[in-house]
A and B are shown apart, each in its own frame.
Chain A
Amino acid sequence: MSFLLSALPDALACAACVDGDDREDDRAPRARRMNAPDAAPPPTDRDAADAQLLERVARGDKTAFATLYDRFSRPLFALTLRIVADSAEAQDIVHDAFLTVWDKAAAFDARRGSAFTWVVTLVRNRAIDRVRQRRRRAELLAESAPADLGYHEDAPRPAADDASAFNDDARVVRAAVATLPPEQQRALELAFFGGLTQEQIAQKLNEPLGTVKARIRRGLLKLRAALPRRL
């Protein structure tokens, strides 16, 4: 967490304005989200552009597919690698998930979320399934439990070009995450990257189930409030 804050000084203002109490009012006004660092293009334009790419992919447009891959592959690969902790396996999962995108692009429904969310769901489900199949979830979590959702002090740093390419979305998200109390970060981390059930998260955190549910609810609502309307 400390690394995240020091790496993202522009998030400090937001991070400093919240405390770690779960009972804190998590219904932040939507206007507050717009205070988060926002170097990304207008969200609605990006969503629309992604949706158009998917429409073209559905018609068999390989160029659109390559463009979509270039836009999404980096965070998706990072997400998958974070979940499965194996580069070769992560490549297979991303490969298969994008083939599903190619085959099922017509099934995308913009009313249910952004294109990025749709593809993230495809990739994440596959990655979690793979982890569950390997029955190594507990080991993976023990091996890779960082102090926060972002960088770990010992994590490999991205190359210079990667750092520039790993665009501002990451900075925005990390800044938004930094606004969450650590216990909410931890609950979201286990839920999103660990693929654990509610009960497993409660057991792992040694907290009552109701507390865990409340942390997840508050954390996700705060994240929604802290993020731009759509990345």
Chain B
Amino acid sequence: MIAERHEELAALYALDLLAGADRTQFEAELAADPALRALVAELRDSAAALAHAAPPAGPPAALRERLLRSVETRTVSRSKEDEKILRPPPSIFRALLPWAVAACFALAAGWLGQLYLSSRTEAALLRDEKTFAELALQSARNQLEAERIVNGQRFATLDRELKAQGDLANFKIAALTSMLNNSPQALAVAVWNPAQQQGVLQVEKLPALAADKDYQLWVVDPAYPNPVDGGTFTVDPQSGAQRVTFHPRQPIKAVNAFAVTLERKGGVPKAEGPFVLFGK
């Protein structure tokens, strides 16, 4: 006796209306119940019989021909497959041997090709790495060189500054005062750089010179019996000012004093005219 619920499930199953978990569960019950299986089989047949209830329609004759041609084609294919299967083993091996060799060759070629490509890739990578390393090295060298140059420049600058500071300590600076009664306001400053054997003279409010006269600077060095000629110069007629860089005609070892005299035009080897300025 089949329960009504199972009849309903059987009917739905026969019409493919059961799905999912319901279908799975019913199929499990079906497997365990021969009477239920028989009912399902009968209901399937009954449902299939409904095909006869469809509006009558006959397939065209061409469909039969087409179907038989398709079957013929499949028969030929199947025969060929059967023929392959029925070949004796030695023939199969002989037939497969070239394919096996070809397959092995293809595999080997593939492996070697892979190896070659891999090696080539590695070589390319190494080349790239080498290039990068060289570039990095060159860059480092350039940087070091740049730093060396900069540091050298810094050292030179520092050296010059230190030297200048050293030189400055040795500079001789002297204020020259007027020796003229008619121009007591006249004055001058002389700065002497013994290292460079040159000096700067700045004069102010000196009387204007006659056309045939020059002022001449003298450097008093105890190493010489006479003052050393520092050169001649003129002044601005209006202001009586002048700034000149002088180079004594003889090497100066020590400066005791500076003196300016009024001389004839072009100067003289040994002071002859009156003193205009003097300072130690």
Contact = CB atoms under 8 A, between A and B. Distances in A.
A binds B: yes
Interface of A: 60, 62, 65-66, 69-70, 73-79, 81-82, 87, 90-91, 94-95, 98-99, 102-103, 111-114, 116-117, 120-121, 124-125, 146, 149-152, 155-156, 158, 162-163, 165-166, 169-170, 172-174, 176-177, 188, 191-193, 197-198, 213-214, 216-217, 220-221, 223-224, 227, 230-231
Interface in B61-79: 63-64, 66-68, 70-72, 74-75, 78
A224 B39 CA distance: 10
Interface string B30-69: 0000000100011111111111111111111001101110
A124 to B, nearest CB: 8
Contacts of B100: none
Contact of B43 (A91, A121, A224, A231): A224
Given A217-B7, A224-B42, 5 more contacts: A94-B59, A112-B44, A117-B47, A169-B49, A170-B53
A62 B55 contact: no
B215 to A, nearest CB: 121
Contacts of A94: 59, 63, 67
A220 B53 contact: no
A155 B11 contact: no
A62 B76 CA distance: 12
Given A99-B74, A221-B11, A73 B57 contact: no
B26 to A, nearest CB: 13
B14 interface: yes
Main secondary structure of the interface of A (DSSP, over half): helix
Given A91-B60, A99-B70, A152 B55 contact: yes
Contacts of B53: 149-150, 170, 173-174, 177
A191 B17 contact: yes
Contacts of B55: 78, 81-82, 146, 150-152, 155-156
B58 to A, nearest CB: 5
Interface residues of B, number: 42
22 contacts: A62-B68, A66-B68, A74-B59, A78-B51, A82-B55, A87-B57, A91-B59, A94-B67, A98-B67, A99-B67, A102-B71, A113-B45, A116-B48, A117-B48, A146-B55, A173-B52, A197-B19, A217-B8, A220-B43, A223-B46, A224-B43, A227-B45
A74 B58 contact: yes
B56 A117 contact: no
Contacts of A112: 37, 41, 44
B15 interface: yes
Contact of A197 (B17, B48, B66): B17
Among A75, A121, A158, A188, which residue has the most Cβ atoms of chain B within 10 A?
A75
Q: Which of B43, B55, B58 has the most CB of A within 10 A?
A: B55
B56 A166 contact: yes
Contacts of A162: 56, 58
Nearest to B74: A102
A70 B47 CA distance: 21
Given A94-B63, A191-B15, A197-B17, A121 B48 contact: yes
Pick from B12, B49, B59, B67 the residue with the most CB of A within 10 Å: B49
A198 B19 CA distance: 10
A150 B48 CA distance: 14
Nearest to B18: A198
Nearest to A191: B15
Contact of B45 (A77, A150, A230): A230
Contact of A77 (B47, B59, B71, B72): B59
Given A162-B56, A173-B49, A216 B43 contact: no
A177 B52 CA distance: 10
B172 to A, nearest CB: 114
A101 to B, nearest CB: 10
B70 to A, nearest CB: 6
Contact of A193 (B42, B54, B71): B54
Contacts of A221: 7, 11, 43
A69 B56 CA distance: 16
A98 B60 CA distance: 15
B48 A113 contact: yes
Contacts of A192: 15, 47, 50
Nearest 3 pairs between A and B by C-beta? A82-B54, A79-B51, A117-B48
A197 to B, nearest CB: 7
A91 B63 contact: yes
B46 A214 contact: no
A139 B51 CA distance: 21
